[in-house]
Amino acid sequence: MLEKIKQTADYLKKKLPVIPETGIILGTGLGELATQITDKTEIPYSTIPNFPLSTVEGHSGKLIIGKLGKKDVFAMQGRFHYYEGYDMKDVTFPVRVMAALGVKTLLLSNAAGGVNPNFEIGDIMIINDHINRFPEHPLRGKNHNELGVRFPDMSEAYSKELIVKAKQIAKENKIKVQEGVYVGTQGPTFETPAEYKFFHIIGGDAVGMSTVPEVIVANHAGLKCFAISIITDLGVPGKIVEVTHEEVQQIANNVQPLMTLIMKELINRA
Ligand code: HPA
């Protein structure tokens, strides 16, 4: 694994004029932020050595490196999901590469189902913690001390400083934001009503099929993380209706300008 990370990082280093300090991983229907990147170099995943290929609809699968406002960013448009069949080392490989390149902060977005009864469809939730319900842990196996410690601390997996700043930005721009715990689960089924209820009882506010593996590896590698969920459907008793991937994408797409604003401003104030 170490050799692969180095090989991919070396390949990208040769292609890039500068190595950004901020990495961005964009979720389903949430690629807009990447379209605002200027002076950019686009690198399709299919051309990057050792990179897995993204298969799910709604992900175009490329790295976009350039400027967002005044800051250099390293954005992944399209991520690798565990439900696609990748193992956890593949799902989190890009985070390892970012860390090897010198990225210091990782911003992530996702679409999620709300299980907090106070949430509404279209809400933006700043993730302040997570519960890992994936069946495989991305750090399982031999630990490479060069990458991080054997037993990583997770007491502040999502940077408090970045959460405070993001809330301030939301307030200044009159954007309503929720804050809460994201439950990461493997999918690809959406939840049954009983599962939504369970995720709420165990302390979740939203549930989705990504983010947790990347945040674990980012923490292992010493990166600061900030993540936003767009609530695209509700797993709240009395409000549960049929969910489709198309609706999830549509709602995420409608809300994303507000999320884009928060992330962009957060990067510029860093
Ligand atoms: N459950 C899991 N993942 C999701 C959901 C959901 O309800 N909505 C969007 N992604």
Residues of the chain with pLDDT > 90: what percent?
75
Could you give the CA distance from residue 50 to residue 267 in angstroms, rounded to a whole number? 28
Confidence check: pLDDT of 107 > 90? yes
End-to-end CA distance of the chain: 31
pLDDT for the residue numbered 149: 96
- CA–CA dist 199, 212 (Å, integer): 15
Predicted local confidence at residue 54, as pLDDT: 61
What's the average model confidence in pLDDT over 94-114?
A: 96
**pLDDT confidence of residue 46:** 87
| Spacing, Cα 231 to ligand 1 middle (Å) | 8
- Give the pLDDT confidence score for residue 111 in this predicted structure: 94
For domain 2-269, give the CATH number.
3.40.50.1580
More confident site: 237 or 177: 177
Distance 208 CA to ligand 1 centre (A): 5
Give pLDDT, residue 58: 45
Ligand 1, residue 252: give the atom nearest the CA: 9
- Which residue matches tokens 């301030």? 168
pLDDT beyond 60 at 169: yes
Confidence of residue 1 (pLDDT cuts 50, 70, 90): confident
Burial of residue 140, with CB atoms counted within 10 A of its CB: 0-12 exposed, 13-18 middle, 19 or more buried: exposed
CB 229 within 8 A of CB 125: yes
Averaged pLDDT, 97-124? 96
Atom 6 (ligand 1) nearest CA = 113
Mean pLDDT computed over 122-143: 97
User: Which residues line ligand 1 at a C-beta cut-off of 6 Å?
Assistant: 111-113, 190-191, 207-209, 232-233, 235, 243, 248
Tokens of 30: 């949430």
Q: What is the structure's pLDDT at 31?
A: 79
Task: Let me know: does 74 contact 63? Beta carbons within 8 Å.
Answer: yes
Q: The pTM is what?
A: 0.94
What average pLDDT score do residues 229-234 get?
95
How many whole angstroms separate alpha carbon 121 and alpha carbon 171? 20
What rounded mean pLDDT belongs to the chain? 92
What pLDDT shows up at residue 249? 85
d(CA 182, CA 179): 10
- Asked if 115 contacts 236 with a C-beta cutoff of 8 angstroms, the reply is yes
Instruction: Supply the pLDDT for residue 238.
Output: 86
pLDDT per position as a tens digit, 44-94? 888 899 998 766 544 468 899 999 988 999 999 888 999 989 999 999 999
| pLDDT tens digit sequence for 203-224 | 999 999 999 999 999 999 999 9
